[in-house]
Structure 1
């Protein structure tokens, strides 16, 4: 189960994303980026954040800690923006909190290099969950304390917007031609050898179990939250084998010069 905390202070809206998340303080004295059930994308965005984020963590990726964040809309009464006021009023109850990483920097491929093994692992993972939101235009990665962190998985698992078509998604290819890490010569074979055997029914069930029931209740076509969780498990379990063979990379990716992970320094810089 996700850690449960209560929002005690609304600090400020974060306008970088389309869902208008907010920075809040909680009763554990931590700061969280809150993603709202009342946002336009709805609760399925939060479901995707939890399943993909918790799965990524279990596979060894760095992901900010997630929490079930209880919101009383009254904490935002002082917010002057009517759009934010409406979002808060429509999101009372359980929302998603993502641990805030202070002073983290947005990933920039011109400033921070990723080695082929790590690039391959992240692209393989994104292919598994069909993450369409890790492009060079919007990498959804942060560099914090010198390490790469993955964020914002709400646009993943697009099949859950139409469960009737979910079985067909298991065998579909993944277009990584615009992926932010494609230029780093990703080693997909090594990623598949390491990660694919770890995608078990039990591992997926653990990640799905962290989704609060309230976000899964009354899902059309399902008679219980556990039935919805099972559908996520089955689709991902079927998608994992051979997914690396269905990843479409740009032709230039194979010719990329391998680099060690870390900040890029240029000869003569600063002279």
Structure 2
């Protein structure tokens, strides 16, 4: 079960994300990157964040701590940006937070070296969860205290946006040609040999159990959250056998469009110099200058 905290102050929006996450302070004196149930991409992105993020942690990959955050929309009354105000008003109740890593920088593959073994583990994991949003265009990797951290898994588990397609995802190849770690010759075979035995139904069920039940309600074709959790477990478990052999590493599409789905790329707002309150926008996944 994820720890639960209560948001006490909204600090600033992070405008690089299509869902407009924000930095908040909480009653445990921590600072978090908060993702909202009222965002246009919907609560399924939060489900993917929890399930994929916890699974990555259990496999030994570095993912900032995830927490449940209670939000009282009243904290947004003084927010000058109407877009942010609307988002806070629509997100009262339970939301998702990711531990803020102060001073972290987005990973630049030209400046930071990743060994083939670690690159292989990340690529294998992304293949398991079907993450389409860790490309050279948008790495979703941070460097903090000299180590690589994985963030932003909302674009994983694409099949849960269309559950009838889930069984077919079992044997679907994963094209890692545009993966940000592809240049480091990821040893996917070794990663599969190491990680596949760890991905048991028991482990997947433990991760799925941490997804708040209220985010799993009213899914067509499922009677209750437990039935839906079982479907996540079943779909991911079926994908594990032979996964490493289905990872494709070809020539990157440097001059082509992103392979991410339109709902992901099209939702990103245009960049601007500052928000309505005159605050500078974030230049990386974790805005610099905010202290814990």
Tell me the equivalent position of 2:233: 233
Structure 1 residue 205 corresponds to structure 2 residue 213: no
- Corresponding residue for 2:276? none
Distance 1:142 1:133 in 2: 14
Q: Could you tell me which residue of structure 2 aligns to residue 163 of structure 1?
A: 163
Q: Which runs of 5+ in 2 are unaligned?
A: 253-292
Structure 1 CA distance for aligned equivalents of residues 194 and 8 of structure 2: 42
In 1, the alpha carbon distance for the partners of 2:89 and 2:181 equals 38
Q: How does 1:33-52 map to 2 (within 5 A)?
A: 33-52=33-52
Matched, 1:173 2:173: yes
Residue matched to 1:57:
57
TM-score by length of 1: 0.92
In the TM superposition, structure 1's runs of 4+ consecutive aligned residues that sit over 4 Å from their partners are none
Per-residue deviation, residues 84-129 of structure 1 (Å, max 9, x unmatched): 1110000000000000000001000001010000000000000000
Residue aligned with 1:67, SS: strand
Aligned to 1:124: 124
Cα distance between partner residues in 2 of 1:246 and 1:72: 45
SS class of match (1:23):
strand
**CA distance in 2 between partners of 1:53 and 1:216 (Å):** 17
1:185 positional shift: 0.6
Q: Determine the structure 2 residue equivalent to 1:242.
A: 242
CA offset digits 1:124-161 (Å, max 9, x no partner): 00000000000001000000011000000000000000
Q: Please report the TM-score for the alignment, with normalisation by the length of structure 2.
A: 0.85
Q: In the alignment, does 2:18 pair up with 1:22? A: no
Question: Following the alignment from structure 1 to structure 2, what is the Cα–Cα distance between the partners of residues 230 and 12?
Answer: 37
Q: Distance in 1 between matches of 2:251 and 2:188?
A: 14
Supply the RMSD in Å over aligned alpha carbons: 0.8
Q: Encode CA deviations 1:25-76: one digit per residue, 9 max, x unaligned.
A: 0000000000000001100000000000000000000000001100001101
Q: Which residue of 2 aligns with 1:103?
A: 103
Count of residue correspondences: 252
Residues of 1 paired with 2:141 and 2:56: CA distance? 13
Partner of 2:84: 84
In the alignment, the residues of structure 2 paired with residue 107 and residue 199 of structure 1 have an alpha-carbon distance, to the nearest angstrom, of: 27
Partner of 2:69: 69
1:214-261: per-residue Cα shift (whole Å, max 9, x none)?
A: 100111111111111100000000001111111110259xxxxxxxxx
Could you tell me how far apart the structure 2 residues matched to 1:87 and 1:251 are? 40
Q: How far apart in 2 are the matches of 1:11 and 1:35?
A: 13
> Which of 1 and 2 has higher RCO (CA within 8 Å, sep 6+)?
2
